[in-house]
Structure 1
Amino acid sequence: MTAVDLPAVPRVLIAEADPWSRDLLTQVLLNVRCDARLDLCADGQEAMDLLSAKPYDLVIADWELPGIDGLALLRAVRQRKRNPLQPFILLSVRSDSASVREALPLAPTAYLTKPLNMEGLTQRLQGLLLDAGQEVSCEVPSLTPGTTLYSFLEHRRELADGAPLLTDVQLAVKRSLHPEGLDLRLLEEEIRTDPQVTAVLIAAANSAAQHHGDGVQTLSQALQRLGTGQSMNLILGLTLKRSARLSDPALADYAERYWGLSLHTAEYGRTLARLLDLDQERCYCAGLLHRLGDLALLRCLQEWKQAGGELDDQEEVGDALERFGAAYGSALRTRWRMPLELRELIASVYQLGGGVYSREALVMNLAGQLARLPASEGVEEVARGKTARLLKVGLPELSRLRKG
C-alpha cells in the first residue's frame, strides 16, 4: 500500500509487550503523524482481537509478544488475502539468518531488529504514512470548558510524562559517540545530573522485558542492563514528547531551583555515603530523584498554559507545587515501578519513618537537611539533630561537608 492509498488520518496498531518500547514506538510514530489514531496492546491475543474488529492502515508488532507472537499475527493477517497487502512492520531481537528466512515468506513490509535504528524507523513510517514532501502539524488540544487548574492537575497526576529534560540529551549522546559506537561510561557522565533521564532508564531497566536478577537502582546499572542501543533510543525518544523542555521563563526558573536542590542533595548523599562506606551511587540517585514530582508538576503547568490556561502569579504556581508536588512524585514512582528500596531512600530525604532506620536512609535524611539549609545558617543545629547523632557525624565533619 502506498501513502496515496491511506486515509487522511491513519489508524495504527502497535503491539509491544514492553511498556517503554511501546512508548518509544508511539512517540516516533506521532512525530511522523501527530494526527494518527493509535491502538496499543501488550499481547498477541488482544492484537488479534483488535485486528478482527477494526481496519488498520499499519500494524507494528513485536515477534516476542506473549500468547500469540508477532510472527503468528503476521501469518494470520496474510491469510486474509488482502489486496494490496496490509502494511505490517515486524520487530524482533532476532537477527539470525534462520529467523529472517522464516519471516520473509510472509512479506512483512519491514523486518526491523532491536534495538531499533530510530532514523531508519522514522524513514519507514514517513514512506508509509506521508506523501512525498508532506508534513502534518497538530494544534495542542484546548481545555474543556469549565476546566479549572486544579482539576486539570488532578487529572494529569496519573498520566504525567515526568520531569522536563534539564540537560541537552542530544548533545550528550553525540559527545558519547566514538568510531566504535556509544561509550556508556561517557554517556553516564553526560546525563547523570538529569532526573528525568535517570528515572526513565531505571524504570525501563526494571520493566518485565528487561528484568532478570536483582532490581536496578542506579543509572550505571540501568545503562549496563539496557545496553547502548536501547539506552540511546530511550534517551532520544524523550526529546520527542510534548513539553520535553520548559519554554516558559517563570516555570523554568522554578525548575532550576528544584534541580539545584536535587543536585545538592545527591552530592551530599554521595559524600556522606563515601564517608560512612555505604553505596554512594544509590544515595546519589535517591537525592537526584527526590524532586521528580515537583519537576513533573512544572511540566504539566506548562501544558496547562499551552492549552490556553492562565497562571496569574507565582503564588498560584507555589500553591500548586505545595498541593500536588509530592503526590505527582509518588504516582510516578509507583507507575514506573521504581524498586521499593529506592523509593524508601527517596522518602527518607523528607522524613524518617517509624521503626528501624537503615544507615543509607539516615544518610539521605541528613543530606536533605543539609541541602535545604539556607546559605546564611550554620550546621550546628543539624549536628545536634537525631539523624546526625545516630550516624555519629559531628560538627567538624558537617562543617567540612558544607564548605566542600
Structure 2
Amino acid sequence: MTAVDLPAVPRVLIAEADPASRELLEQVLSRVRCDARVDTCDEGRQALELLAHTPYDLIIADWELPGVDGLSILRSLRQQHRTPALPFILVSRRNDGASVREVLPLAPTAYLTKPLNRENLTQRLQGLLLSGEDTSNPAPTPGPGLTLATFLERRRDLAEGAPLMTDVQVAIKRSLNPGGLDLKLLEEEIRTDPQITAVLIAAANSAAQHQGGGPVQTVAQALHQLGTGQSMNLILGLTIKRCARLNVPCLADYAERYWELSLHTAEYARTIARMLDLEQERCYCAGLLHRLGDLALLRCLEEWTQAGGDLDEPEEVGDSLEQFGAGFGSALRTRWRLPLELRELIAAVYGLGGGVYSREALVMNMAAQMAHLPSHEGLEELARGRTARLLKIGLPELMRLRRQ
C-alpha cells in the first residue's frame, strides 16, 4: 500500500476498548484520509472475527483489549507470514523496557504509548496512508519484454534504499534500560547502518523543516530531533519491508564488501577530521552513506530474483552495479532530501573536479583514497597528491592513519 497504489478506499480496523482513545483515533484518521472505511470494535475476539472476513489495509489495536489482547492479534497476523507484512499499529499504556522487548520480535509498524499524542499519531497515519513511508512500493513483475535493465530503470526512482546491515531487534534491546530507550546507546548500536542512518536523517530534516530548525546531518542530531518514540518506530518500520535483508548469497556478499568499504571510508574521514579539528560526525556520515546507491541496487536485484527473474551471477550483478549504482544513489539522496552540505561531502568521495573546496570535502576525498589503498602500498604517491598537499598532510601522518 503506497501513495501511488492505495486502494480507492483504504479499509482500517480500530480495535480499542477505551472510548476516548477510540474517538481520537477515528478523528485523526478521518482528517488524514476522509475517504477511509473504518471498522471499530472494543474487544479482541470481535477484532479477530472481523479480520477473518475482511481484507484490511491497516490495523490499529490496543494491547490491553479485553478477551484477546492486541499483542495476541499482532502475533496471529505475523504467523501468517504475509508479504509485505500487514501494517499494524500497536497502542499501549506500557512504556517500560520489558514490554518493548516483548513487542520487538513481532515487528509492529509502530508502537504508540498512551496517552496518545495527536501530532505524532497524525504523522504516523500520514506516513502510512499518504506518503508510503512505512510500506513497500510494488516491484514490476518479470515477464516477456521486461529485461533486468528495464526493471532497474523503473525501480531507480522508487527504490526503498539499502538492505539493513544491523540486527534491529538486537540493537533496540541493547539500547533499553528500565526507564525506556536510551538514545545514546541506540546511536552507538545503529550508527554503522547506512539505511537506518539515511532514513533517520531524512525524517529528522522533514521534522526540522516544519519546526523551523537547521539541517540535520548526523545520527545523533536525528535521534535528538525525532525523540525516542518516533526514532524507534521508524527503525522498526524498516524491518517489515520487502527485502529488508538480503538472502541471495552472491548479493549478500557484494553488500558486505560495499558496507565494509563504507565503514573504512567513514572511519578514515572521522579520524582525519579529528586530526584537523573539523566536524567529525558529519564526515563519518558522508563516508557511511557514499555507497547507499550500490546497496539499494543490490536490494532491487533481490526483488528481481524474488519475483522470478533470472540473475547471472556474478556478471550481471557487476554490470548492473557499474551501470546503475551511481544513479540509484543520486536518486535516493535527492528523493529523501538529504541536506545539500551532506550530499556535497558524499560527492567529494568520488572526485573533486574543478573549483574551490571546503576542507571537509578534501577530508572525504582523502578518506576514500585511503580506504581504497592496498595494505602498506601507495602511501608515498598519496602523500604527493593534490588532496594531501591541500590538506597539508604528509607521509608521516598518512602512515599513522594507516596503523590506526
TM-score, scaled relative to structure 1: 0.71
- The answer to whether residue 205 in structure 2 is matched with residue 206 in structure 1 is yes
**2:298 is matched with which residue?**
298
- The answer to whether residue 315 in structure 2 is matched with residue 315 in structure 1 is yes
- The answer to whether residue 24 in structure 2 is matched with residue 38 in structure 1 is no
**1:158 is matched with which residue?**
157
For the residues of structure 1 that align with 2:293 and 2:246, how far apart are their CA atoms? 15
Contact 2:250 2:313 in 1 (8 A): no
Contact 2:10 2:35 in 1 (8 A): no
**1:93 is matched with which residue?**
none
Contact 1:204 1:210 in 2 (8 A): no
* Cα distance change on mapping 1:120 and 1:164 into 2, 3 Å: farther
How far did 1:75 drift? Answer: 12
Contact 1:74 1:88 in 2 (8 A): no
Q: What pairs up with 1:200-239 in 2 under 5 angstroms?
A: 200-208=199-207, 211-239=211-239
**1:101 is matched with which residue?**
none
CA-to-aligned-CA distance 1:148-171 (integer Å, 9 cap, x gap): 010001100001110000110110
How far did 1:313 drift? Answer: 2.5
**2:369 is matched with which residue?**
369
Higher mean displacement: 152-161 or 368-377: 368-377
The alignment partner of 1:58 has SS state of: strand
For the residues of structure 2 that align with 1:88 and 1:354, how far apart are their CA atoms? 62
The alignment partner of 1:214 has SS state of: coil
Aligned-residue identity in percent: 66
**1:385 is matched with which residue?**
385
* Cα distance change on mapping 1:296 and 1:268 into 2, 3 Å: same
How far did 1:134 drift? Answer: 8.8
**1:58 is matched with which residue?**
12
Number of aligned residue pairs: 321
CA-to-aligned-CA distance 1:178-229 (integer Å, 9 cap, x gap): 1100000000111111000000000010115765311100000000000001
How far did 1:76 drift? Answer: 7.5
Contact 2:63 2:71 in 1 (8 A): no
Q: What pairs up with 1:253-332 in 2 under 5 angstroms?
A: 253-332=253-332
For the residues of structure 1 that align with 2:337 and 2:28, how far apart are their CA atoms? 26
For the residues of structure 1 that align with 2:192 and 2:168, how far apart are their CA atoms? 11
* Cα distance change on mapping 1:232 and 1:389 into 2, 3 Å: same
One-letter identity of the residue aligned with 1:218: T
Contact 2:83 2:242 in 1 (8 A): no
* Cα distance change on mapping 1:352 and 1:179 into 2, 3 Å: same
* Cα distance change on mapping 1:247 and 1:366 into 2, 3 Å: same
Unpaired runs of 5+ residues, structure 2, are 15-22, 42-58, 85-138
CA-to-aligned-CA distance 1:85-135 (integer Å, 9 cap, x gap): 94379xxxxxxxxxxxxxxxxxxxxxx9xxx999789x76996x9999994
Q: CA RMSD in A?
A: 3.7
TM-score, scaled relative to structure 2: 0.71
How far did 1:70 drift? Answer: 3.7
One-letter identity of the residue aligned with 2:337: R
For the residues of structure 2 that align with 1:277 and 1:308, how far apart are their CA atoms? 51
* Cα distance change on mapping 1:120 and 1:138 into 2, 3 Å: farther
CA-to-aligned-CA distance 1:328-352 (integer Å, 9 cap, x gap): 0000000000000000000000011
